[in-house]
Chain A
Amino acid sequence: MRRGPSVFNRISIGAGLVFLYAPILLLMIYSFNDSRAVNVWAGFSTRWYTALFRDSQLMGALWITLRIGVVSASIATVLGVMAAVALARGGLFRGRTLFSGMVYAPLVMPEVITGLSLLLLFVAVGLDRGFWTVVMAHATFTLCYVAVVVQARLSTFDTALEEAAQDLGCPPWRAFFAVTLPNIIPAVAAGWVLALILSLDDLVIASFTSGPGSTTLPMRIYSAVRLGVSPEINAVSTLLIGAVAVGIAVYGSVSRRRTAPARA
């Protein structure tokens, strides 16, 4: 028998949720403020949004950021699924400890270290910093998140199906594409979405690895924030939060529709 939550439990959950969501909600509300000052409410207005779409620098940065995100998330997904398969099915291969170390360490590694070390690599091999260096840097740290998400799904997936396919003469790679992949595809998609979001969000690693023509949106937001709070940044932030919320809602409903018949 599970005891229900006590008054204290309810208060801690409530306070925790207020703490997590109030700052974001305040930011969104103030993006519709007609005044430039944050401490005065001067009425509802969407003028900061119209100003945004006229800001060609910002729109350019958004476009670069999206392209980097989609390309790096796709590379990260391919490599991350391979890493997950190796971790979940590989058994004890040589260098497994080092391999799992390299998969898990980037999840907690301070970004300044990852960013600086990647930059030095690009300088050492004589690669000009720009679009592709940011893509490679983002693919490197996001592939680890994909690997963790997919590996969690693989570890609950019955290996008997793969073994049956192989017993019937399927080569391992074909068993993977015909049996395993269709079963883990929701986790693979979730990994891709997570990699995309992390790439769109990254400031520190992009700052180290980008070149003159590849300033990303977080870099633009950061330099604007350094100059102070502005309603334009509130508006950009609200749009980004909205985009992520819509993305998660769409993903949630699609994956529910996919898994519903399987459960029945």
Chain B
Amino acid sequence: MAAIAPYLWLGMLFAFPFLLVFKLSLSDVALSMPPYAPKFDPGNIGRFVRALDLDTYGRLVSDPIYIKAWLSSLKIAAISTALLVLIGYPIAYGMARCSSGSRQLLVLAVTLPFFTSFLIRVYAWVAILKPAGILNAGLHALGLPPVAVMNTDAAVYIGMVYAYLPFMALPLYAVLEKQDESLIEAAADLGATPFRAFWTVTFPMSLPGVAAGALLCFIPIVGEFVIPDLLGGSSTLMIGKTIWTEFFNNRDWPAAAAAATALLITLVVPLMLYQRQQARVLR
């Protein structure tokens, strides 16, 4: 009963519009408003199928910049996610070993940045990393040469790790916190060094948390726009930026829709894994 209204709302405003994106990706660019000419007419499927040409997709595949943007999005998302695991794990592990009072406080401290504006947190890094920014002022004060980080892929990785760290640290913490301490003691009693006990007992048992954090970060990072736009350079190609540019700057709606469709298809498998995991949490 209670499901009907949110079901209809999400069906209308979340699921159904994907079909519109796909339909638009099959249209031609036109100099009108809205700037496209429909090719797909639901009342005339036969003619549509006979005349089916994937013009826009052909354009995307033949222009190497789109393929590069797509590959580079996957690369940046994969590296960012790996960095997030490497940086988030020690933090989550440390949190899990604190007393319960300080654990609650630390969870709050890691969650709070999520409530401050994403845009502002990315902008804070612009002020730090730009050539005449806070970082270089600090280096200068120490008598060190300036570094050029702004508008490079390195700046994008810093921004990604910074913005998504809570999404990695909290699921990791949730798994590590539940772990039975006596298992580590048993490993130690059997002669394992602390590192070996961690590597053969703690880490394998925390893999569900790693997977949860990785999916929560990887999926939105592949389509990220704000971070590559503000911190990356003109050579930083990401599909989210491509969609934005095609839509707002080039007014090429069909190309934006085709790029969005390609992004969505790329994310089908990660999204299904994510859904399966959420369903498990529900049970």
Contact = CB atoms under 8 A, between A and B. Distances in A.
B87 interface: yes
A23 B271 contact: no
Contacts of A10: 94
B181 A2 contact: yes
Q: Which of B21, B106, B169 has the most CB of A within 10 A?
A: B21
B98 interface: yes
Contacts of A19: 162, 165
A117 B275 contact: no
Interface in B106-126: 106, 109-110, 112-113, 115-121, 123-126
Contact of B115 (A95, A104, A105, A248): A248
B2 interface: yes
Contact of A24 (B91, B124, B134): B124
Interface string A64-92: 00000000000000011011011101100
A89 B282 CA distance: 11
Overall SS of chain A's interface: helix
How large, as a class, is the contact surface on chain B? 35 or more
Given A9-B93, A95-B7, A116 B243 contact: yes
A114 B14 contact: yes
Contacts of B12: 121
A229 B11 contact: no
A82 B8 CA distance: 12
Interface residues of A, number: 91
B136 A104 contact: no
B195 to A, nearest CB: 11
Interface string B61-101: 00000000000000000000000000100110111011100
B57 interface: no
Interface of A: 1-6, 8-10, 12-13, 16-17, 19-21, 23-24, 26-27, 30, 37-40, 79-80, 82-83, 85-87, 89-90, 93, 95, 97-106, 108-114, 116-118, 120-121, 123-124, 136-137, 139-141, 143-144, 147, 151, 155, 172, 197, 200-201, 203-204, 207-208, 218, 221-222, 225-226, 229, 233-234, 237, 240-241, 244, 248
